[in-house]
Amino acid sequence: MFVKNVSHLLNKNLDKIQLSIREIGIETLEKSILAVKPKILMQNSIKLHKKRLIIENDEYDLENFNKIYIIGGGKATAEMALTLEEFFSDVKDIRYEGIINIPDNSELMDNFKKSRISFNLASHPIPNEEGFKGTKAMMKLIEKSTNNDLIFCLISGGGSALLPFPKQGIEIEDLRIFNSLLLSSGASIHEINTLRKHLSDFKGGNLAKKIYNSSGATLISIIISDVVGDNLDSIASGPTVSDRTTFKEAFEIIEKFELLNKIPNSIRESLNQGLSGKMSENPKPGNSCFNNVHNYLIGSVKNAVQEAKSFLNSKQFKVDYVSDNVIGEAKDFGQVLYGVISRHVKDNLTKDKIKKIALIGTGELTVTIRGDGIGGRNQEMLLSFLNIVKNKKLNYDLLIISANLDGIEGNSEAMGALIDNYVLEQMILRKIDTEKYLINNDSNNFFKELGTEIITGPTGCNVNDLTLILITKINN
């Protein structure tokens, strides 16, 4: 199982109904994680027969290429690269080499030793020097390529931090400071990536531009999405796709979050150069550098949702995928969630034949950090929800799991948390002050105290977050 603390979550103090609902919830989470494992997504999307590579409806004859290069980065790219290498192992005489930047907490180290691909450990969510070294090595690899070569770029969420390649004049330490400011500002992932793209010579289509200018080699980008809407220009800040955003938009984001006087001078100077036209914009749609680029989105959180729906249907739940656009401040979403649940209870559980409903939401919330506690976006959202319902009497059995399927969120070691009627009862009985934890952004310590944080460690996946709500009628 992925969930390591199941014994704590399925504790002996639960009544039969509470235990049963938790078991279903945890099993749904397990199946959802498995559905978005990179190896599964790769195997479902890519076939290699002899030397003919088939991706979706496209076919590539590997006999036509002199050599294959594999580059990229992200939370899911270690498993993606190893799976691609497994494909190659079944075919003779394929010449390839590569380098991939992966998180420094990756757990596949034994597999890396047998690989012909170099795996470089870098930091996330704040970039570091090791990530910069790995990205520079990728750029040198590209310079070796010819127009008869094939370059695979493996991309997943986390690539924005794991693939730092700042524009000239920006030191990696300045980039670290800037990313820390952005992540605590409350800016959306789209806004953050708009800025990242305009400070990089790798992101925002600049990798495709580099390959075009170096050799014109064929570029195949295999992508797993972790962003709402699955826009390719946002995933890992879009190194292989055109960038529709501008320096003007980037500067407006700086002003919106009042960061102009906080960011390092080198960052401010670089943005000013772009704003004044002294620095070129990132390549836009129609640029010839994308003529020989082939981007394939092979997976997203929708794969997890499909698996969850199928399983819950088999358990006689009426399932509604209520939103694929769960965004905004985590605390605010937690406050409105009670109303969402109440409407669905009124519309469904008041009907005689419907006894069990499940609601699923996906997306990525943000947290504006004001305290110095330990937590994450899903945990803060659930804590905010509990703070709203603590004085309400629920006339139904409820379970909510909200989690980052990557396995780690915020500055905690948890992927998210679980709440239900039992958590609500215990919170009231023990007179736990939810407001205190919310004010300090300390949601993880709250759920730790109640024993319902969810611990998996890094899963190797990287898609949007999943919120799962199970509601059943209370038997009278």
The CATH number of whichever domain residue 382 belongs to comes to: 3.40.1480.10
- Looking at the fold, whether 32 and 79 belong to one and the same domain comes out as no
CATH of the domain at 98: 3.40.50.10180
Q: Tell me whether residue 190 is in a domain.
A: no
Q: Domain range holding 56?
A: 38-165+200-245+282-299
pTM above 0.75, yes or no: yes
Helices of type H across 205-329: 206-214, 247-256, 265-275, 301-314
Helical (H) or strand (E) element with 335: helix 330-344
- Looking at the fold, whether 97 and 212 belong to one and the same domain comes out as yes
- Looking at the fold, whether 412 and 423 belong to one and the same domain comes out as yes
- Looking at the fold, whether 467 and 324 belong to one and the same domain comes out as yes
Q: At what angle do helices 172-183 and 265-275 cross, to 10 degrees?
A: 90
- Looking at the fold, whether 327 and 353 belong to one and the same domain comes out as yes
- Looking at the fold, whether 228 and 331 belong to one and the same domain comes out as no
Q: Tell me whether residue 216 is in a domain.
A: yes
- Looking at the fold, whether 153 and 59 belong to one and the same domain comes out as yes
- Looking at the fold, whether 292 and 393 belong to one and the same domain comes out as no
Counting beta carbons within 10 angstroms of the beta carbon of residue 381, is it exposed (0 to 12), middle (13 to 18) or buried (19 or more)?
A: buried
- Looking at the fold, whether 443 and 329 belong to one and the same domain comes out as yes
Q: Tell me whether residue 188 is in a domain.
A: no
- Looking at the fold, whether 424 and 347 belong to one and the same domain comes out as yes
Q: Tell me whether residue 460 is in a domain.
A: yes
Last residue of some domain: 266, 299, 332? 299
Q: How far apart are the first and last CA of the chain?
A: 35
Q: Tell me whether residue 189 is in a domain.
A: no
Kindly provide the b/e burial profile for residues 308-325, where b requires at least 16 CB atoms within 10 angstroms of the residue's own CB: bbebbeeeebbbbebbbe
- Looking at the fold, whether 286 and 362 belong to one and the same domain comes out as no
Q: Tell me whether residue 266 is in a domain.
A: no
Q: Tell me whether residue 148 is in a domain.
A: yes
- Looking at the fold, whether 450 and 376 belong to one and the same domain comes out as yes
Give me the number of domains the chain comprises: 2
Q: pLDDT tens digits, the chain, 476 residues: what are they?
A: 899 999 999 998 999 999 999 999 999 999 999 999 999 999 999 999 888 999 988 999 999 999 999 999 999 999 999 999 999 988 878 899 999 999 988 776 667 778 899 999 999 889 999 999 999 999 999 999 999 999 999 999 899 999 999 999 999 999 999 999 998 888 888 899 999 999 999 999 999 999 999 999 999 999 999 988 899 999 999 999 999 999 999 999 999 999 999 999 999 999 999 999 999 999 999 999 999 999 999 999 999 999 999 999 999 999 999 999 999 999 999 999 999 999 999 998 877 778 999 999 999 999 988 999 999 999 999 999 999 999 898 999 999 999 999 999 999 999 999 999 999 999 999 999 999 999 999 999 999 999 999 999 989 898 999 999 999 987 64
